[in-house]
Structure 1
Amino acid sequence: MSLSRWNKLWHDLLLYRYLIGIQVKAQFQYKINLLIDISTYLAVTGLEFVALLLFFGPFPDMLGWKMGEVALLCSVMNLSFGLAELVGAGIDNFSETIRRGEFDRVLLRPTGVFLQIIGSDFRLRRLGRISLGILGFAFSLSLLPNLHWTWSKLLLLPLGIVSTTVIFLSILLLGACICFWTVEAVEITNVLSYGGREMLSYPLTVYNGLLQRIFLFVVPLAFGSYVPVCYALGRPLPFGMSEWLAFCSPLPAVLFACVCGGFWSFGVRHYQSTGN
């Protein structure tokens, strides 16, 4: 990468930090309101976690998965989705940006289009779901006292969380691309984002082979969440995959992000302004 590209990247990072900093300061002006927002979001998402655990009242396991193991899987999904919600709110609201004609102004500014969109909205209330993921992770570990931790497992779980976050952000970006041609695209991406989070909070093996392959190789959410959790728990990987593939979760995440990024670039180039 040339020096000019490095300089541009550094400038974009500084600008992104500035945009986020302004929004964080604005939200901290109303500390009680922010605390209520975070607490409410934690309570609402916590009910989803409780509903999952209630399954284990009448049933001792879920196709061999114990409560602590499912809680660990659900916590990884909540951490990943919470981070994606926190960072990608601007992408998620892109349909409103198009509808109000604000994207036309974005194109006139002398900086990256994607940077402006992703830096346009940063909601600290999403810390509620991230807090749920952390609390759920601690709860799952209390139910797994015999889980043997190694350096590879300690490395793999954060790597899987970051990879799954990138995939969720890519799904949101794919939904933003659809907004170039139809402004009502929320339901389409919700199937993959909210639907994927809900489905993969449960073991992948409860679904049929087609769905398993879709979430492993097409929209690789399971590659970043289910596969690392299986490795950490000492469970066999799906379809007889080798254990070393668990460390490859960044690869499908980057490939999927590149595909979605390509659609985004295509949409930006062919955007013809609101109303045309």
Structure 2
Amino acid sequence: MQRSRGFPGIGDVKLFLKYFHLTLKVTLQYKFDRSLIAAAVLIRELSGVIILILLLNRFVEIRGWDINEVLFLYSFLFLSYSLFVFFFTGIRDFEDLVYSGEFDRYLVRPVGILFQVVASRVDYTAALGHGVLGIILLRSTASQLQIEWTAGQIGFYLVMLMGGALIQASIFMLASSFCFWTVKVTNLRNMLFFNSRKIAAYPLSFYPGIIQKVLIFVMPFGFVNYFPAQFYLEKPEMDVYWKGMVFLNPLVAAVMFGIVFLVWKQGLRRYSSTGNALY
């Protein structure tokens, strides 16, 4: 019983891949519809980028940042979110699982509960829409910034993306954990994640000290894009921070997920069914 509430073992990898295969088959049953949704996600996010470009084009640079450097930060956000939504859609949509009563079925299966939540859903359309835009931004800005991609730089970027995805998953999981007490957490989720993500799209130096501290120590989006980007940009403003923060993304991701997992386990002990499973 204890194992059913913890992390999946190595033997669950095949089952995990089976879940992904099944969700992909369901997605491909409606190819045209899913393609339109992916295109809509891409256009929605692209419209925000275009507005940003139109605003920033009025200035050569803002506080030492030009438009390509700001959009380079955006590439981290979009690509890491694409990975997050590909692997952790179940955490993103956990409120729906609890409210509908579907989560009750996970409790009686001899498989890790968190494993089931993570593996049960994949949002391919959102992953594709954000991923395509992230790649476009990365390619265009990296060439303008004259970043030379060595094996080490590519490896660093990929590690930072995975860490960024786990940080975002942890923030979502923190909000989702409150479903065990309140069921509906839409407003809390929007406040913790989406509002913080909007702020983190811009350099930390644009904000007063209190906002910077929130994005570093509370909702650590600074480690999703700002600090990893300094590995390539080497902005002088980094002198006010410890240089090692550029490399802390994986550690922050691991520590934050560990802390949030304890909150998750505590909430799971207090969970009682919503009674909607038969409806």
TM-score by length of 1: 0.90
Which one-letter code corresponds to 1:156 in the other structure?
A: F
- Listed one character per residue, the Cα deviations across residues 42-64 of structure 1 (whole Å, up to 9, x for unaligned) are 11111111122112222221211
Q: Are residues 1:73 and 2:73 paired?
A: yes
Which residue pairs with 2:24 in the alignment? 24
Which residue pairs with 1:56 in the alignment? 56
1:125 CA drift (Å):
0.5
Taking every aligned residue pair, what percent have the same amino acid on both sides? 30
Asked whether the 8 Å contact 1:78–1:133 carries over to 2, the reply is: yes
Moved more, 160-169 or 93-102: 93-102
> 2-side partners of 1:192 and 1:130: how far apart?
22
Q: Are residues 1:213 and 2:213 paired?
A: yes
* Structure 2 gap segments, 5+ residues each: 1-7
Asked whether the 8 Å contact 1:90–1:118 carries over to 2, the reply is: yes
Which residue pairs with 1:144 in the alignment? 145
1:23 CA drift (Å):
0.6
Q: How does 1:91-130 map to 2 (within 5 A)?
A: 91-126=91-126, 127-130=128-131
Q: Are residues 1:168 and 2:165 paired?
A: no
Which residue pairs with 2:4 in the alignment? none
Count of aligned positions: 268
Q: Quickly say closer, same or farther: Cα 1:261–1:26, change in 2 above 3 A.
A: same
CA RMSD of aligned residues (A): 1.9
Which one-letter code corresponds to 1:27 in the other structure?
A: T
> 2-side partners of 1:264 and 1:223: how far apart?
23
Which residue pairs with 1:134 in the alignment? 135
> 2-side partners of 1:229 and 1:271: how far apart?
40
> 2-side partners of 1:109 and 1:122: how far apart?
20
> 2-side partners of 1:149 and 1:84: how far apart?
24
Asked whether the 8 Å contact 2:231–2:246 carries over to 1, the reply is: yes
> 2-side partners of 1:17 and 1:246: how far apart?
33
Which one-letter code corresponds to 2:223 in the other structure?
A: F
> 1-side partners of 2:218 and 2:239: how far apart?
15
Which one-letter code corresponds to 1:55 in the other structure?
A: L
Asked whether the 8 Å contact 2:76–2:224 carries over to 1, the reply is: no
Which residue pairs with 2:177 in the alignment? 177
**Secondary structure in 1 aligned to 2:274?**
coil
> 2-side partners of 1:173 and 1:46: how far apart?
27
- Listed one character per residue, the Cα deviations across residues 231-264 of structure 1 (whole Å, up to 9, x for unaligned) are 2111146463343431221111111111111111
1:150 CA drift (Å):
5.1
TM-score by length of 2: 0.89
> 2-side partners of 1:234 and 1:148: how far apart?
14
- Listed one character per residue, the Cα deviations across residues 205-229 of structure 1 (whole Å, up to 9, x for unaligned) are 1111111112112222212321010
> 1-side partners of 2:121 and 2:245: how far apart?
35
Which residue pairs with 2:38 in the alignment? 38
Which residue pairs with 1:231 in the alignment? 231
Asked whether the 8 Å contact 1:230–1:237 carries over to 2, the reply is: no
Q: Are residues 1:186 and 2:192 paired?
A: no
Q: Quickly say closer, same or farther: Cα 1:187–1:239, change in 2 above 3 A.
A: farther
- Listed one character per residue, the Cα deviations across residues 172-220 of structure 1 (whole Å, up to 9, x for unaligned) are 1111111111122112122232222211111111111111112112222
Which residue pairs with 1:159 in the alignment? 159
Which one-letter code corresponds to 1:175 in the other structure?
A: A
Which one-letter code corresponds to 2:139 in the other structure?
A: A
* Structure 1 gap segments, 5+ residues each: 1-7
Asked whether the 8 Å contact 1:90–1:120 carries over to 2, the reply is: yes
1:149 CA drift (Å):
4.9
Asked whether the 8 Å contact 2:181–2:270 carries over to 1, the reply is: no
1:155 CA drift (Å):
3.0
1:87 CA drift (Å):
2.1
**Secondary structure in 1 aligned to 2:265?**
helix
